[in-house]
Amino acid sequence: MKPLNADLHCHSTVSDGLLAPAEVVRRAHANGVELLALTDHDELGGLDEAREAACELGLRFADGVEVSISWGDDQTVHIVGLGVDATNPDLREGLAQVRSGRDSRAERMAAELDKVGIHGAYAGAMRYVGNPALISRAHFARFIVEQGHARDVKSVFDHWLAKGKPGYVNHVWASLEDALRWIRGAGGIAVIAHPGRYRLSQAQREAFYAAFRDLGGEGIEVISGAHSADDTQEFARVARRYGLLASRASDFHGPGESWIDLGRLADLPEDLTPVWSRL
């Protein structure tokens, strides 16, 4: 049987994507996606528009969100919630709380960037923001490229915005416990986003997977736009060892700015249970 073209992680202008929710849906459909989840950072505000557009096209759609959490020794990890009830009050309040720290963080980032000669970054990044409650490093990156300090968004992260670089500031996001409680409480399935992107030691990784599973986490992105073929093998093994469902996810942000386009992903290893068997 032909595997389903599912893409369960992407962004719109409601967080740091470049396309409006309905445009994301239309592009996914045009690319042959058969099941889509929109997973904006810490936000549910694009879901109504996306769901409606998907309905018009006859495209299967799941409500999603990508929650920013802090874990261990100041590590930022992202947890995707799939099939959440977007009207759930605890989830909504929890996400509002996570979002509320972003603006002061952005001001601290701008102050640090100012010290290294990148001036006016707060106002500059704001010009790229689609949702004032959701300013992200991606918006800063676009401004820094515009100013000619770097040739593309990726090199902005390498030079200024990644952990340890001059424009990076520590920030406390949600706890793993809270994120899982909100997602599960809203009837959703919690999935570890792009596990290949975290700089964790092997021991930290194992501790994280165990904590995630013990708190009711159920899935992991085995296929991710950010993963190499070796990563896929590694996270397939993690899914088997921890009994996790496997997800397939582009993490698309916009044309020309993402690792991979919507739905242009390898298939899951056949022995894994796809997370969409539960959606």
Pick from 65, 253, 254, 274: which binds ligand AMP (CB under 6 A)?
253
Secondary-structure percent of the chain, ordered helix, strand, coil, rounded to 5 = 40, 15, 40
- Write out the E strands in the chain: 6-7, 35-38, 60-71, 75-82, 189-192, 219-224, 245-249
Residue 68 within binding range of ligand AMP, rule CB under 6 A: yes
Residue 247 within binding range of ligand AMP, rule CB under 6 A: no
Residue 136 within binding range of ligand AMP, rule CB under 6 A: yes
Tokens of 196: 């290949």
The one segment of 28-36, 155-163, 173-181, 193-201 that binds Mn ion by CB under 5 A:
193-201
Q: What is the dihedral of CA 134, 155, 161, 251, to 10 degrees?
A: 40
Pick from 6, 8, 14, 16: which binds Mn ion (CB under 5 A)?
16
Three-class SS of 75-94: EEEEEEEECCCCCCHHHHHH
Residue 221 within binding range of Mn ion, rule CB under 5 A: no
Name the residue with the smallest CB distance to Mn ion.
Answer: 78
Sign (positive or negative) of CA dihedral 124, 130, 136, 141: negative
- As measured in angstroms, the least distance from the Cβ of 1 to Mn ion is 29
Q: Angle at the Cα of 132 (from 126 to 133), degrees rounded to 5?
A: 130
DSSP secondary structure string for all residues of 24-63: HHHHHHHTT-SEEEE--BT--TTHHHHHHHHHHHT-EEEE
Residue 163 within binding range of ligand AMP, rule CB under 6 A: no
Pick from 41, 184, 227, 248: which binds ligand AMP (CB under 6 A)?
41
Pick from 50, 95, 153, 179: which binds ligand AMP (CB under 6 A)?
153
The one segment of 28-36, 97-105, 238-246, 247-255 that binds Mn ion by CB under 5 A:
247-255
Pick from 29, 51, 78, 184: which binds Mn ion (CB under 5 A)?
78
Residues 50-69 that bind Mn ion (CB under 5 A): 66
Pick from 29, 51, 137, 181: which binds ligand AMP (CB under 6 A)?
137
Q: Among residues 232, 194, 189, 231, which one has the least CA distance to residue 213?
A: 189
Pick from 7, 43, 49, 251: which binds Mn ion (CB under 5 A)?
251
Cβ neighbours for 154, distance < 8 A, ≥ 6 positions apart: none
Q: Angle at the Cα of 18 (from 188 to 92), degrees rounded to 5?
A: 30
- As measured in angstroms, the least distance from the Cβ of 60 to ligand AMP is 24
Residue length, the chain?
279
Binding site for ligand AMP (CB under 6 A): 16, 41, 68, 136-138, 153-154, 157, 253
Binding site for Mn ion (CB under 5 A): 16, 66, 78, 138, 193, 251
